[in-house]
Amino acid sequence: MLATLWLLSLSLPTSWAQILVSCAYKSLCQQALLSGNDVVLQCDHLKARWYFSSILGEDVLLLSSVPNIKKLPGGSLQLTNPQPSQTGLYHCEDNDSALVVEYEIDFQDVTTLHITHKGLGQKPLQNETLSLGGKELIFTHWDPWQDCNCCGEPGEHKRLGYCYIEEPLEKPMPCWLYLQEEKVQYRRMWPEMQVEACLIPCDHIK
């Protein structure tokens, strides 16, 4: 049991690699991410200008002097240690004010991360219904399992999941992009991490 708990303690997302998010030219893409993990939003235009619109309905902000945000030489936008308050629309345009690409990003709060380990008999959050005038389904959208962290001996792998809301016949959306300014405090709206023991041979490594 202690060994399993030790493995779980190593699974906390303190050193995730920087994430690159890309989107087709002149398109709008939605993405849920964990707060606190560095991210780059791709925009391939040397003279790109970036604007931000908060989900709280604040004025549009030109991203030129925000401490944890900088434009990279190729035009992409780098966010270091982004916070849930930076959830919203990121708009990249060229020097003629024409749209290049847009991103709606939901930075879900890493401090509320719900962690479960199959080896401890723990289960992920269950789907639930949220009543905001309809029958909205709250569920977890899971990333693929990561590779096992070692070979030839017991290890672990994990996957991240993000809170999503779906209306009947509508495309699911990350929770806080869906809720916008709606003041809802609901325990189910947490990101998740699921951890599982794994054992793989080392003969595939050259």
Domain count across the chain? 2
0.95 exceeded by the pTM? no
- Please indicate, yes or no, if residue 205 is contained in any of the structural domains: no
Q: Which pLDDT tens digit goes with each residue over 3-48?
A: 333 333 334 444 456 899 999 999 999 999 999 999 999 999 999 9
Give the end of a domain, one of 64, 90, 108.
108
The number of CA neighbours under 13 Å toward the Cβ of 120 is: 17
The per-residue pLDDT for 2 is 28
The burial class, CB within 10 Å (0-12 / 13-18 / 19+), for 96 is: exposed
pLDDT surpasses 80 at 97: yes
Domain final position from 108, 133, 168: 108
Question: The domain that contains 89 carries what CATH number?
Answer: 2.60.40.10
Do residues 33 and 92 both lie within one domain? Answer: yes
114 and 193 share a domain? Answer: yes
pLDDT of residue 183: 67
pLDDT tens-digit profile of 51-62? 999 988 778 889
Residue range 107-125, pLDDT digits in tens: 999 999 999 998 899 999 9
- At 118 the three-state DSSP class reads helix
For 154, half-sphere exposure in the C-beta direction (CA atoms, 13 angstrom radius) is 8
**Domain span at residue 141?**
2-12+110-198
What confidence tier does 1 reach under pLDDT thresholds 50, 70, 90? very low
